[in-house]
Amino acid sequence: MGTEEGWCLLLCLALSGAAETKPHTAETQWRAVDVVLDCFLAKDGGHRGALASSEDRARASLVLKQVPVLDDGSLEDFTDFQGGMLAQDDPIDIFEASVDLVQIPQAEALLHADCSGKEVTCEISHYFLQTRETTVETAPCFMANVQVSGGGPSISMVMKTPIDAKNDAFWHPMLNLPLSPQGTVRTAVEFQVTTQTQFLTFLLGSSASLDCGFSMAPGLDLISVEWRLQHKGRGQLVYSWTTGQGQAVRKGATLEPEQLGMAGDASLTLPSLTIQDEGTYVCQITTSLYRTQQIIQLNIQASPKVRLSLANEAVLPTLICDIAGYYPLDVAVTWTRQELGGSPVQVSGASFSSLRQSMAGTYSISSSLIAEPGSAGATYTCQVTHISLEEPLGASTQVVPPEQKTALGVIVASGLFLLALLFLGLQRRQAPTRVGLLQAERWETTSCADTQTSHLQEDRAAHVSQPS
């Protein structure tokens, strides 16, 4: 084990031991510590405002000097970096970077990455300034890109070497730069752009916030903020801010201008996500001297809806499982069959329809299976697995054997026949009563008519018997 690996191991043991023996205090304090990172130095080439592209890389170390981090009591045994900690028989380039001019909000994640089982990748390359002025003497600059695995933060830092060290006795033989007495390349971080996470996943229709923050040295001016989307070989502008004027190209995209100067926050909010919002987002910050960026991958997901139906009532019925409205494309469908009192058994032989895509970009597909009910019937389940689901989603139905269907049909028909007989019997019992009532009504009507006729005849007789 090398000296540097042993130092990291001692740091982890110290942090874990202190965390176990000391409880968290109510008041958390800040402490300045040295953060040491294993890096690679790209020797050749470079791009304006980006990493140098070269396969010729050498081992290097980056020491962020006296970075303020929250101390809950676990840093009591922590010691600062010393040049003698590195193995002398394996010389590497060591960059000491002062952070007095900027803030490194993700320093704690870098400090505890090894102990958390996460990997930190770091690459250093030459950086070329944005200014075109050739009369002003500028010191060489380097770019350090640091990323934490497992969805951790990403930091891009522009480091400037001092220009007032021409009389130093120690010089780097290859970089032609002054060295400290400990043999390190001294730099100062003047600009950094960071994001809390490099990968984001949101459901279709929700709102997303893409984190992008920055910090710059005094004397630098913020010129512009630009968000771009790269997807399937195409690029497009999403949002731009230039000297106080913001423009949203994607409908609804927002950025808080007042947070740019106050908190160095250039985060972008995207409401009502669609499939077209998926892709790689580039947050590019430009100052009066430097330009750098962060890359965030945004993935969209939509959960499927599952419906199971019986296509026909044949001797061997066909089951159809409709899976609709899911994204991304990959989906797994399995069938199981369970007889009464038995355990589920996976069934093969299912067929699939052609893939369908809606106007919104989601996918749908159907799976068909010929069912075999068995002697006592069976329950069939269509189970769907998709990346958007925490657990598989399923739908079930019971398939009855043909003979049970026939018996059930006979029982139903008999029941209907008995109900019909009962209804007819009730109708017959009510018929005499209705006939008697009708006859009574007819008798009353006849009596009233006879009475009226009798009275009319009496009146006529009285009229004839009167004398003239």
Instruction: Report all structural domains of the chain as residue ranges with CATH numbers, in order of start.
Output: 1-19+29-164+177-195 (no CATH), 198-301 (2.60.40.10), 305-403 (2.60.40.10)
For 265-316, how does the pLDDT look when each residue is reduced to its tens digit (9 = 90+)?
999 999 999 999 999 999 999 999 999 999 999 999 999 999 999 887 666 7
Coil, helix or strand for 411?
helix
> Predicted confidence band at 4 (pLDDT cuts at 50, 70, 90)?
very low
8 A C-beta contact, residue 337 and residue 301: no
Worst-scoring range by mean pLDDT, 173-187, 379-393, 403-417, 441-455? 441-455
8 A C-beta contact, residue 77 and residue 37: no
Rounded to an integer, the average pLDDT of 166-190 is 78
The helix (H) or strand (E) run that includes residue 363 is strand 363-370
pLDDT of residue 55: 61
Coil, helix or strand for 227?
strand
Q: Which residue has the tokens 């697995």?
A: 385
Cα angle 389-394-398, degrees, rounded to a multiple of 5: 175
- Per the prediction, the chain carries an average pLDDT of 79
8 A C-beta contact, residue 194 and residue 105: yes
The CB density around residue 346, as the number of other CB atoms within 10 Å, is: 10
Instruction: Name the phi and psi angles at 364, rounded to 5.
Output: -145, 150
Look up residue 101 and give its amino acid: L
For 54-63, how does the pLDDT look when each residue is reduced to its tens digit (9 = 90+)?
567 888 999 9
| pTM of the predicted structure, to 2 decimals | 0.77
More confident residue, 131 or 455: 131
- From 300, 292, 298, 350, select the one nearest 321 (Cα to Cα): 350
Q: Which residue has the tokens 């003047």?
A: 190
For 321-377, how does the pLDDT look when each residue is reduced to its tens digit (9 = 90+)?
999 999 999 999 999 999 888 899 999 999 999 999 999 999 999 999 998 877 668
